[in-house]
A and B are shown apart, each in its own frame.
Chain A
Amino acid sequence: DIQMTQSPSSLSASVGDRVTITCRTSQSISIYLNWYQQKSGKAPKLLIYAASSLQGGVPSRFSGSGSGTDFTLTISSLQPEDFATYYCQQTYSSPLTFGGGTKVEIK
């Protein structure tokens, strides 16, 4: 199985900050990497697919990059509605594992 290492597990940031979350996989997965946002008590929402493609309706302040084993989710200017938990997921091979999550909290 492909192991996912997401970091940090949590972070505190202020509105307007640039935020970067990293996901590392135990083997190369090309660009088969998606990012999801989950707010408390809600279902996850797809933000980024294929490592860098923005899902329709997602604000352009979200961006993704990387390939192989190292990936990054960047929020260019954190907004109040962005405080949530973020997960990466590889879809290269089953089981389609998720990272452990990064909780973004208000500083």
Chain B
Amino acid sequence: EVQLVESGGGLVQPGGSLRLSCAASGFTFSSYWMTWVRQAPGKGLEWVANINQDGSEKYYVDSVKGRFTISRDNAKNSLYLQMNSLRAEDTAVYYCARGGATPGGRLGYWGQGTLVTVSS
């Protein structure tokens, strides 16, 4: 069974940093693109970033470029999102999702999400 379990969310002050993790199991992690999607309270889904199988290709939404870094450790079956210079507008539930073998693949599996709150 495919499982994605996010962790690392919490309350952080504006300008602070947080590192999210996503532990994957039930599939060959190193064979898939992986993605982070977020959802601000009461709002829609926003694609944040994705990364290819070996970590050599990474893409970001403009609003997080230069502040967030997506990475993965295939030996640990884990996906990460390092978030720096956090702003109030980064407050959201962050989901990790499994993509496909190509960058345009569907997000067929999602974690339960982890809440990040940026507030003083």
Contacts and interface: CB of A to CB of B under 8 A. Distances in A.
A96 B112 contact: no
Interface in A9-52: 32, 34, 36, 38, 43-46, 49-50
A89 interface: yes
B9 to A, nearest CB: 14
Contact of B108 (A46, A94, A95): A46
A89 B59 CA distance: 16
B108 A44 contact: no
Contact of B110 (A45, A55, A100): A45
A65 B59 CA distance: 28
Chain B interface residue number, banded? 20 to 34
Q: Decide if the interface of chain A is mainly helix, strand, loop or mixed.
A: loop
Given A55-B108, A91-B103, A91-B105, A96 B47 contact: yes
Contact of A96 (B35, B62, B95, B108): B35
25 contacts: A1-B62, A34-B107, A36-B107, A44-B45, A44-B95, A44-B107, A46-B108, A49-B108, A50-B106, A55-B108, A85-B44, A87-B45, A91-B103, A91-B104, A91-B105, A94-B103, A95-B60, A96-B35, A96-B47, A96-B59, A96-B104, A98-B45, A100-B44, A101-B44, A101-B45
